A and B are shown apart, each in its own frame.
Chain A
Amino acid sequence: MTLRADHVAGAFFVGFGLLVLALSTDLPTGTLSLPGSGFMPKIIAVLTIFFGAVLALRGGESRPFATVTWDDVKHAGMVVAITAAAVALFERLGFLTTNVLLIFALLVVIERRRLLPAAAYSIGVVAITYVLFVYALKTPLQTGPLGF
């Protein structure tokens, strides 16, 4: 039997629904006349399992899992890694420094742009954005250890 995309997706949702049910064991279901905090999540989790199972069972109509293309996963992974690093640094370094580094890293590491234009672009757009938000729109942005 060929493994189809919907077999995988359906199985994931069945597993996810079961996980939610497992995490809901300490939440009281209550009664119909006085539903508890676990009442609604458990109903939705059961529906998720049901719909996931239907998706998997009808999976024969979907495309083979092997044909799902992942050629962009390297690009996506690098964007996520660089953005995650920026998020981790955001509150420590502040808006200006973090975003200059973020844009510079995306341009140089992923897009293979030359250092000087990448530096000029990242400093320029971040500075313009800072002025726009802080001075024109009066919206304070996260400051770093040097006060900007």
Chain B
Amino acid sequence: MESTLLSLAHGFSVALAPANAWYAFVGCLVGTLVGVLPGIGPLAGISILLPVTFGLNATQAIIMLAGIYYGSQYGGSTTSILMRIPGEASSVMTCIDGYAMAKKGRAGAALCIAAVGSWIGGTFGVLVLTVVAPPLATIALRFGPPEYTALLVLGLIFLAYMSSSSLIRTLLMACLGLLLGMIGIDNMTGHFRYSFDLAELGDGIGIVPVAVGLFGLGEILSTPSAGAVKDIISPRVRDLLPTRKEWSEAAMPITRGTLLGFIIGIIPGSAHIISSFLSYAVERRVAKHPEDFGKGAVAGVAGPETANNAASTGAFVPLLALGIPTSPITAVLIGALMIHGVSVGPTLVNEHPDVFWGFVASMYVGNLMLLVLNLPLVGLFVTVLRIPYAYLYPLIIMFCIIGVYEVNNSIVDVWIMLIMGVVGYALRKFDFDPAPLVLGLVIAPILEQSLRQSLIMSNGNYLIFFSRPISLSLMIFSVGLLVLAAYSFVLKRADWRTKLAEAEAGETET
């Protein structure tokens, strides 16, 4: 523990260096804007701004990009509360009660509760990350191919199980992503797969063009500018402070959201999205007056907003300790570090202490910056929302092109982005969520390699996954989730996920 505190103190000396603190501030500011602007989520935002970090060192790059990630979780609540438009997916649940509070004249209080809840969730996440990540990295050194295979399979099944849309749709998207991840040279045999004689496809399809295409361009194609004009409720600064009653109503949801969000965050999947949905469901279930939900319940804002921030911090635990991306966003962050010559994994804490501890300490600083930044500057962010969408989306398309091209200086990547934009548009038409596709693409190479290595190690015996303690535990968890999913599928029982999806659909229609 003493060595952890000493290392953290070293991290603060790195994070508070003027240049690093500046990039944390820039990341938080840009992240808030990314969260505020509908149609550009954290994944597209980070991908587009990846080239901006090429001139920085690895520590500054990861500090800035992570700032964009957790900054967007704060910013997403602004549009949800003031316009009933989720700035990004994890703020969907905030729309329901946040906007209802705004219509009652409590927009300022809703924003304040969202910001404070986000700060508490984010800071708690960093505290646990500080304590848990280094010892977990030591344990992870014992992970072999079977353990990695079991962990990734669990991540996919967990993502499908937690999805409130449909298990089959989520698995189909993950399969599509895994297939896209198979394109290029097979690392173990050197075979070219599905590259159609295009040399550029030899290295496979990158995460950035797919993510920017699906989430950046795809969103623009689905949003005609004529339909993008919405009423904005402007909060008055003097109304920012919640009443004592509102604080007391928010206290327990914030506590529950913090714990729930962090736990969901460390499990592979689109944690920040799932956690906010789950937190809303929990709050409604434990509420004394569940009928208030949808009409401006404070708990409906406090819980989900806290949970999504705690989850976005929790997602860094497997990233830093195991080197496993648990979401498309953390995968892009790994890519950013690799561009700077830093390989992420259990050895990161020892080989690059400046990067590891500087990054951890910067999250304490960044979360505090966001709290200070979000409330007084809410008027500025509302002004940004007044820019006509017709002028905004051409700018986003330009940044999409620069962002994708600059990563590899490859025009083929830009064409892939364009194709994925069209795919994203079509997927939205048929109610598919593209996030599992990107996760599938990200984990495809790791999953394939660890599965094949495991089979080679065991001379083709699948029981290797059930004969080692860690992989056995993970597989039992996976099988348990599958049995639970099959149970409700066969009996056609409407379990809590189905009910939640129905409730969301109902809310959207009103």
| A35-B455, A79-B220, A133-B52 known; A48-B175 Cβ under 8 A | yes
Let me know if A90 and B224 touch, CB within 8 A: no
Question: Shortest CB–CB separation between residue B384 and chain A, in angstroms?
Answer: 14
Question: Shortest CB–CB separation between residue A20 and chain B, in angstroms?
Answer: 6
Q: Which residues of A contact B451 (CB under 8 A)?
A: 35, 40
| A52-B172, A83-B418 known; A41-B397 Cβ under 8 A | no
Any B CB within 8 A of the CB of A146? no
Cα-based distance from A91 to B410 in the complex (angstroms): 10
- CB-nearest residue of chain A to B457: A33
| A83-B397, A87-B415, A107-B390 known; A95-B402 Cβ under 8 A | yes
Taking CB atoms and an 8 Å cut-off, the chain A residues in 81-123 that contact chain B are 83-84, 86-87, 90-91, 95, 99, 102-103, 106-107, 110-111, 113, 121-122
Q: Which residues of A contact B175 (CB under 8 A)?
A: 44, 47-48, 51
Cα-based distance from A70 to B225 in the complex (angstroms): 15
Taking CB atoms and an 8 Å cut-off, the chain A residues in 7-43 that contact chain B are 8-9, 13, 16, 20, 23-24, 27-28, 31-41
Any A CB within 8 A of the CB of B51? yes
Cα-based distance from A31 to B397 in the complex (angstroms): 46
Question: Shortest CB–CB separation between residue A30 and chain B, in angstroms?
Answer: 9
Let me know if A8 and B54 touch, CB within 8 A: no
Partner pick for A5 among B189, B191, B411, B430, CB 8 A cutoff: B430
Question: Shortest CB–CB separation between residue A125 and chain B, in angstroms?
Answer: 6
- CB-nearest residue of chain A to B453: A35
Let me know if B222 and A90 touch, CB within 8 A: no
Residues of A within 8 A of B (CB): 5-6, 8-9, 13, 16, 20, 23-24, 27-28, 31-41, 44-45, 47-48, 51-52, 54-55, 58, 68, 70, 72, 75-76, 79-80, 83-84, 86-87, 90-91, 95, 99, 102-103, 106-107, 110-111, 113, 121-122, 125-126, 129, 133, 137-139, 141-142
| 25 A-B interface contacts by CB (under 8 A) | A9-B430, A27-B191, A27-B193, A31-B460, A34-B455, A39-B452, A40-B451, A41-B179, A44-B175, A48-B175, A48-B176, A58-B168, A72-B221, A75-B225, A79-B220, A80-B421, A80-B422, A83-B397, A83-B418, A84-B418, A90-B401, A95-B402, A106-B394, A107-B390, A121-B391
